[in-house]
Amino acid sequence: MHNESSDGRSYIGKRAIVIGAGVSGLAAARAVADHFEEVVVLERDELPSGATTRPGVPQGTQAHGLLGGAVKGLRELFPGFDQDLVEAGAVLVNPGFELLLEFPGFGPFPLRKWNWFIYSLTRPLVELTMRRRMEQQPNISLRGGSRVLEIVGTPDGVRVTGVRCQTAEGPEAIPADLVIDASKHGSLTWSFLKSTGHPLPDETTIGVDIRYATALCELRHGALGEFKANVTFPKAPESMNAGYLLPVENNCYQLLLIGRADDIPPTDGAAFLEYARKLDTPTIYNAIKGARQLGEVARYGFPESKWRHFGLLDRFPRGLLPTGDAICCLNPVYGQGITTAVLEANAMRRLLNVNARKADPLAMLGSHFLTEVEALLEDPWAMSAIPDFVYPETRGKRPKDLDDSLQFQNALIHLTTRDADLVELLAEVRHLLKPMSVLNEPDILRRVEAEMTAKQ
């Protein structure tokens, strides 16, 4: 199953197709590029030459930040990518002392310089910076205006053999050894499984009805004092509104205000700024007084976190890999979606590096990858989806140990207000730089338990 190509290199397959040129599609294309003669990324949108929003990624209008784990993972895929981000205009924020994180009822937290950063930029600029790297990779081609209509395979569904797509020139069938579904909705994978009699994965959903609204603005000088960025969480469960004020390229800020259910942020400029008064602390409201709003307020509704458990299926078609939001969509409030997608791409790359030495490298790739992703998603799901159950309105199956884990979290956050090392450790866990298991270290458990007892 190894192909000798015209360039004298040995590949495990002739062509890999990636459906979707979003973040996970671009990361996955790079992850597999060393092992296929060519990688073709098919994107239904025409791809813009600049950092502009596009219809296929409607969440691109909303504030996005790249967590520490995303940048680390992107650097593994594209060495020097952090430098590319800075050259593109991303603002470096040291979360240790330049980000004011407000958790009403907790804090303030000790400030200290850390040796890692958040990269703050608009979502279209993240994609543009990744696309520029793709252009330097001779065996990857990005094809905008190519909507995939169907994943095709052998009649028994055991093996995927390519896709059928629609372009301006008409329909086209493209054969492939590997098809990666990075379409976010994942409906093509779903249809393929269904039409070929494969079992469908269980889905876990947590209904939240989050209402996002973002506007770009220019702040007056020093509006945030000594800080570069602010994130204000609600005092849950009493209140539900969160706010983000994040610096982005071109000396602008993204103001993101979040409501839930019927509490929808207004799109009228003045009313939108006034909505910031609903936050539990006045920092953002005070900072945006006198700000100049640039452009419209854009809204986005996020109904539910969703995890499709492909990794628990007994069998999966050969040559098919879903990835990114097509597997798991997390409540975006914690900003872990891109990091998760990038961690998946790195897992794909590692598995391919190992499998490339085997006689049939693609034989078990799908099930190995999806099993690994199932484990990888446990931490982000625990941090970005489960905490929503603090609100009684949240829909879904509440974990049995919910009260204990919420109490543990609260005690831990209280502890961090007196311990600068613990603040950083907790941030490394939230940024997916370290696993949650580091918080099970005996000394931490002992101190958290003492804190919980003291609060009773």
Ligand X SMILES: Cc1cc2nc3c(=O)[nH]c(=O)nc-3n(C[C@H](O)[C@H](O)[C@H](O)COP(=O)(O)OP(=O)(O)OC[C@H]3O[C@@H](n4cnc5c(N)ncnc54)[C@H](O)[C@@H]3O)c2cc1C
Q: Residues interacting with ligand X, by CB under 6 A? A: 19-25, 42-45, 56-57, 59, 62, 64-65, 70, 147-148, 182-184, 212, 300, 302, 324-326, 332, 335-339, 341
Minimum CB distance to ligand X, residue 390 (Å): 20
Minimum CB distance to ligand X, residue 300 (Å): 5
* CB-nearer residue toward ligand X: 278 or 431: 431
Residue 179 sits at φ, ψ, to 5 deg, of -120, 125
* CB-nearer residue toward ligand X: 261 or 354: 261
Minimum CB distance to ligand X, residue 66 (Å): 7
Give how far Cα 158 sits from Cα of 5, 14, 190, 317, 366, Å: 26, 19, 14, 5, 12
CB-CB neighbours of 330 under 10 Å: 23
Minimum CB distance to ligand X, residue 302 (Å): 5
Could you give the CA distance from residue 292 to residue 361 in angstroms, rounded to a whole number? Answer: 56
Report the C-alpha dihedral over residues 51, 54, 59, 65, rounded to 10 degrees: -10
Minimum CB distance to ligand X, residue 456 (Å): 36
Those residues with Cβ within 8 angstroms of residue 175's Cβ, 6 or more apart along the chain or in another chain: 15, 161, 162
* CB-nearer residue toward ligand X: 83 or 187: 187
Minimum CB distance to ligand X, residue 280 (Å): 21
Could you give the CA distance from residue 302 to residue 258 in angstroms, rounded to a whole number? Answer: 11
Could you give the CA distance from residue 29 to residue 139 in angstroms, rounded to a whole number? Answer: 10
* CB-nearer residue toward ligand X: 37 or 127: 127
3-state secondary structure of 438: helix
Those residues with Cβ within 8 angstroms of residue 233's Cβ, 6 or more apart along the chain or in another chain: 101, 102, 103, 104, 242
CB-CB neighbours of 3 under 10 Å: 13
* CB-nearer residue toward ligand X: 183 or 283: 183
* CB-nearer residue toward ligand X: 183 or 410: 183
Residues 240 and 260: beta-carbon distance below 8 Å: yes
Minimum CB distance to ligand X, residue 301 (Å): 9
Could you give the CA distance from residue 130 to residue 28 in angstroms, rounded to a whole number? Answer: 11
Strand spans (E) along 47-102 = 65-66, 91-93, 99-102
* CB-nearer residue toward ligand X: 328 or 413: 328
Those residues with Cβ within 8 angstroms of residue 378's Cβ, 6 or more apart along the chain or in another chain: none
Minimum CB distance to ligand X, residue 131 (Å): 11
Minimum CB distance to ligand X, residue 322 (Å): 9
Residues 33 and 178: beta-carbon distance below 8 Å: no
* CB-nearer residue toward ligand X: 384 or 410: 384
Token pair of 434 as six digits:
């370290």
* CB-nearer residue toward ligand X: 89 or 110: 89
